Amino acid sequence: MKSFIKNIVFVCAMLSIINMSVSANELTDDYYDIAKNYYKEGNTAKALEYVNQILKIEENNIDALGLKVKLTPVGSSKKLPNIDKPLIFDVPYISSGNNDSDTYYKKGLTSYKSKDYSSAEMDLISAVKTNPNNYRAYNTLGLVYWAENKLELAKESFEKSNSINKTFTIPLDNLAQIYKQTGESQKSFSTLMRAKDQNPKDFCAILLLGDYSKDNGEFKEALQYYREVIQIKPDYNLAYLKIAQTRAEDVDLAGSNATLNYYHKLNPQDDYAFYMMANNYLLMNDYTKAKESIFKAISMNNCREYRELLGKINYQNEEIQDALDAFLSSLSSSSSSEIYNYIGMCYYNLHDFNKAILNINKAITMPETRVIYYYNLAQVYYTLKDGTNYARYMSLVRDFQPLTCQDYIDMSGILLDSESKNSAILVLNKGIAKFPKVKELYLEKLKIYDLTNDIQGMGQTKLEIESVFK
């Protein structure tokens, strides 16, 4: 009898939960309709009031989050991290035991940190003259020379620092990055291996070895190095981001997001992880999850870069007006040619051809122009039945000389659309000859063979990928 009563209570409780859920959904739907109406009327304050009511009930309501982004203008934001920038390795001040040398060293270190490189150079030279064994001062002097672009002097200072104390390998980590900067990649690699041999716990050297492998398309080796960094220093956040980045470059997008999910548990306030996840989901064509991730990023850091990615997500999801709104809200003096091209294509899809021409033309006149911009402009003129301008821009497309791997991918898509599969494959093969370690070129080839039902071509390309990316 007791179990029967318990079952009735359980069923009643479940029905109550279901009713509450339905009621909550109906309420949020009503609030969203009201918020949209206020938004259309231009009453942003009332619209935002109802959006916030929805988010109190359902914090991940994607429609409300999207409307909140529209209602919130771009504000001051944190600078986005550049996880590929050179890493400047210095050490905190420690006395060398020589008072005169230490006085000069301390002054030089202070001047270096305040970017008064001239004063820093004079004081640090005095520090090492007074005490030729002050290896820390030699390392900082190398950093000063590096900042002043006196690269040969920087190399000498870093070598001198390490020669005094072989276990102090930070100067070698700095030296390796100068070799990378000057295009001497083999010297960079051998210098890092020297640092690792002298100090197996030098996680900075191991991280840079991961970068070396990643830059050479050796993704498995890169991941091994980055994971070794985490074994030595589990709280080194940059290593997790580099693992996620490397897995994304190796087109292991789900794996990249798995790393980012783990990283975010350790660093819940890092908006950049959500940005990286959103980009991965976009490449996976999972637009709903891409939006969820970018909305979270924007709620934490309301910056134009995140709105640009939201625009791309909306554009690929064929939500053209929303894409245009996102792109326009992101515009600044530093906006790229890519964004103006996107804005132009939004206007094209919305049949505002004059604004389409205006914005794509702007993209063409800016640095880093791409062949796809000329092709897009040609398509606008084709739609307008302007044969003269269509022919003009298609001529520029045919004469375009690809420089980057993206140029080759763009050109292959244009040729597949306008000429033939063979022409598209030919240009990708040229790209592969120039960039043999860029996986996206091979995957583009695979996609074309798949689209054209060329089973033999798909098989050959898969073997090619397996051979190059072992």
Q: What is the DSSP letter of 372?
A: H
Contact assessment for residue 128 and residue 134, using Cβ atoms and an 8 Å cutoff: yes
- Entry field: residues in the chain: 470
Mark whether 309 and 280 lie in a shared domain.
yes
Range of the domain at 301: 269-326
Look at the block and give the residue holding tokens 């001529």.
395
At residue 420, the pLDDT reads 86
Question: Is the domain of 66 the same as that of 104?
Answer: no
In this structure, is residue 314 part of a structural domain?
A: yes
CA atoms of 399 and 386, how far apart (whole Å): 20
Q: Count CA within 13 A, CB hemisphere, residue 446.
A: 13
What are the DSSP calls for 117-173, one per residue? Answer: HHHHHHHHHHHHHH-TT-HHHHHHHHHHHHHTT-HHHHHHHHHHHHHH-TT--HHHH
Q: What's the pLDDT score for residue 28?
A: 86
Residue 420 included in any domain: yes
Q: Is residue 229 part of a domain?
A: no
Do both 407 and 446 map to the same domain?
A: yes
In a domain, 49, yes or no: yes
Looking at the structure, tell me whether residues 108 and 190 fall in a common domain: yes
Residues 457 and 440 in one domain: yes
Phi, psi of 453 (to 5 degrees): 55, 40
- Mean pLDDT in order along the chain per 10 residues (470 residues): 41 41 69 89 89 88 88 79 90 88 95 96 96 96 97 97 96 97 96 97 97 93 97 95 96 96 92 97 96 94 94 97 95 92 98 98 92 96 97 94 92 89 93 91 92 92 87
**In contact, 229 and 449? CB cutoff 8 Å:** no
DSSP, collapsed to helix, strand or coil, labels residue 430 as helix
Compute the 3-state secondary structure of the chain and give helix, strand, coil in percent, each to the nearest 5.
Answer: 75, 0, 25
Residue 1 confidence (pLDDT) = 43
| 374 and 419 together in one domain | no
Same domain membership, residue 113 and residue 51: no
Domain boundary among 200, 220, 254: 200
For residue 184, give both structure tokens.
């001497």
- Residue 254 inside a domain? The answer is no
Instruction: Select from 166, 200, 234 the last residue of a domain.
Output: 200
The per-residue pLDDT for 437 is 85
232 inside domain: no
What span, in angstroms and rounded, lies between the C-alpha atoms of 376 and 401? 17
Contact criterion met (CB below 8 Å) for 209 and 193: yes
User: Are both 348 and 274 inside the same structural domain?
Assistant: no
Retrieve residue 464's tokens: 């090619």
* CB neighbourhood size of 300 (10 A): 19
Q: What is the CATH number of the domain that holds 142?
A: 1.25.40.10
CATH number of domain containing 21:
1.25.40
Residue 62 located in a structural domain: yes
Indicate whether 405 and 380 sit together in one domain.
no
Q: Are residues 106 and 186 in the same domain?
A: yes
Which residue, 150, 182, 200, sits at the end of a domain?
Answer: 200
pLDDT at 7: 44
Is residue 216 within a helix (H) or strand (E), and if so which, with residue range?
none
Question: Is 216 among the domain residues?
Answer: no
d(CA 226, CA 101): 38
Instruction: Please check whether residues 433 and 377 belong to one and the same domain.
Output: no
Residues 125 and 195 in one domain: yes
Contact residues for 288 (Cβ-Cβ < 8 A; gap 6+): 62
Angle among Cα 355, 360, 361 to the nearest 5 degrees reads 95
At residue 26, the pLDDT reads: 80
Whether this prediction's pTM lies above 0.75 is answered by yes
The tally of domains found in the chain comes to: 5
Q: Are 223 and 245 in contact (CB under 8 A)?
A: no
Token pair belonging to 249: 């470059």
pLDDT for 410: 94
